[in-house]
Amino acid sequence: MRGRHRIVVEALRGVLEEDKVALTVRGFDVVGDIAVIRVPEQLEAERFLIGQALQRRLPYIKTVLAQVGAVEGDFRTRNLEWLSGEQKTVTFHREHGCVFEVDLARTYFSPRLLHERFRVAELCRYSSAQERVLNMFSGVGCFSVMIAKRSSKAHVYSVDLNPEAVRYQLRNIRLNKVRDKVTVVFADARYTAESLLRGCMNRVLMPLPEKAYAYLHSALAAIGPEGGTIHYYDFAHAYKHEDPVEKATLKIAEKLGIQSRSFTIEYGRVVRTVGPNWYQIVLDIAIV
């Protein structure tokens, strides 16, 4: 984000007073040809100038939107305000050989999970076994499509309850030509894991930190008797002297300790910082 902060600063020099430039946004997300920024409250009156200046600095950006408030609701949608360029929220985003059509106003998408999508897809690609994968919170299908695109041995059951996300997911499956390798399930993830696909999976993805902890028992129910892996995402609070991955590991160990199956934490890392002393983490949990 330091590089993007520098881009914003350079774009605003000569547009805003120097003391206001110092207050400006620290970074921004780029999804396809749309930039999404957060404008500090002190600069709200200048938000359209900021959008126009950023678009002049980055010619490949066709639209600049401001995210107003936090991601909210069961479908994790953003409240977006148009600032500059084309008035749209739909774009095509490309990463690692895949293309995703996304409506930023009606579905959740984060370009900051690029590394995780690729990492999990590569684990499936180099697995020695056929992969039966459950993506419990699939959104527009990014994890699911990338796994199907990169692995010849994986079939993904891709679950979401947002009808708009499911609609775009079906488009993305067609766009990336993986219709025979992804089954889309428009249903509640808990019901799907505990009933429809109970005991059938050898890999479960939980890329929804807000709900993963509450749904962990459901993910465990989907793992077959031969065992498998749960990719668990959560938020962890940690001060400078604390390790957020270690804190999350202890939290999960306590919850899984009362279950009947053995487990080990094979991998953990901080995915990104989400606020002061708050981190998004991932744990790869091996279930025996």
In order of 33, 49, 51, 196, the CA distances from 62 in angstroms are 5, 15, 11, 43
Residue/partner pairs of 116-120 with CB below 8 Å, 24 or more apart: 116/143, 116/207, 116/233, 116/271, 116/282, 117/142, 117/143, 117/146, 118/146, 120/146, 120/147, 120/205, 120/231
pLDDT of residue 237: 97
Strand (E) or helix (H) holding 102: strand 98-103
Q: How far apart are CA 274 and CA 84, in angstroms?
A: 26
Judged against a pLDDT cut of 90, whether residue 8 lies above it is answered with no
Least confident interval from 10-19, 20-29, 36-45, 165-174: 20-29
pLDDT of residue 2: 61
pLDDT of residue 85: 98
> Can you give the pTM of this predicted structure?
0.93
Helix axes 114-125, 142-150, angle to 10 degrees: 40
Least confident interval from 7-21, 86-100, 153-167, 208-222: 7-21
pLDDT of residue 192: 98
Helices (H), the chain: 2-12, 18-21, 47-57, 114-125, 142-150, 163-175, 189-191, 216-222, 244-256
Least confident interval from 3-7, 69-73, 178-182, 256-260: 3-7
Q: What is the pLDDT of residues 248-257, one digit of tens each?
A: 999 999 999 8
Judged against a pLDDT cut of 90, whether residue 201 lies above it is answered with yes
pLDDT of residue 184: 98
Judged against a pLDDT cut of 90, whether residue 215 lies above it is answered with yes
Per-residue pLDDT, averaged over 87-95, amounts to 98
pLDDT of residue 150: 96
Q: What is the pLDDT of residues 141-193, one digit of tens each?
A: 999 999 999 999 999 999 999 999 999 999 999 999 999 999 999 999 999 99
Handedness of CA 184, 263, 194, 189 (dihedral sign): negative
Least confident interval from 10-24, 74-88, 274-288: 10-24
In order of 9, 15, 47, the CA distances from 40 in angstroms are 14, 16, 9
Judged against a pLDDT cut of 70, whether residue 259 lies above it is answered with yes
List of residues 6+ apart from 82 with CB closer than 8 A: 63, 64, 65
pLDDT of residue 25: 67
Look over the chain and give the mean of its residue pLDDT values, rounded to a whole number. 94
Q: How far apart are CA 270 and CA 283, in angstroms?
A: 9
